[in-house]
Amino acid sequence: MKKISAVVLLIGSLCFGQQNPEIEKPVRNLFAGMKNADAELLKSAFSDTAILQTITKDGVKNENINDFIASVSKMEKGSLDERITIEAIYTDGNLASVFTPYSFYFKGKFSHCGANSFQLVKQQDGEWKIQYLIDTRRKDQCREIK
């Protein structure tokens, strides 16, 4: 029985939590777009019906994607630097989940940290897009990502 459990765990680890450049692309484009204040790159990361939320001390706050893109694109290039670590990617068909702890720097100074949870969907054209993004933000107990 122990051998069967070990085999199941080994196979499961091969199917889940693996890197996948196609799925990572929109996530990485989001942060490259933020760093470069590039509205087109930001827009390309999201599906047309994407949802953006933040968990605050007062609860969950909805953010408008177009307002987010407009705000970021007005920033000076290099002002926004969100450094992530992709800890896990899980997939099932046309659905993917990506978890990324982050450290956020504004104009070179550490601002805050947290984690992003992405739900991505594979579009009819085969491209992955961010459908849902929710994040946390805090200033304490941070592990800075270099």
* All structural domains of the chain: 20-136 (3.10.450.50)
Residue that wins the pLDDT comparison between 4 and 57: 57
Report which secondary-structure segment, H or E, holds 10: helix 2-15
61-to-49, 52, 64 alpha-carbon distances in Å: 17, 9, 10
Query: What confidence score (pLDDT) does residue 18 get?
Result: 59
Among 44, 43, 61, smallest CA distance to 52 is for: 61
Distance CA 95, CA 128 (A): 9
The token duo for 118 is 């992405």
Say what the pLDDT of residue 141 is: 83
CA 122 from chain centre, in angstroms, equals 15
**Residue 77 pairs with which residues in a beta bridge?**
none
> What global pTM score does this model have?
0.85
Give the integer Cα–Cα distance in Å for 139 and 124.
40
Residue 14 — very low, low, confident or very high, per pLDDT cuts 50/70/90? very low
Mean pLDDT of 79-103: 97
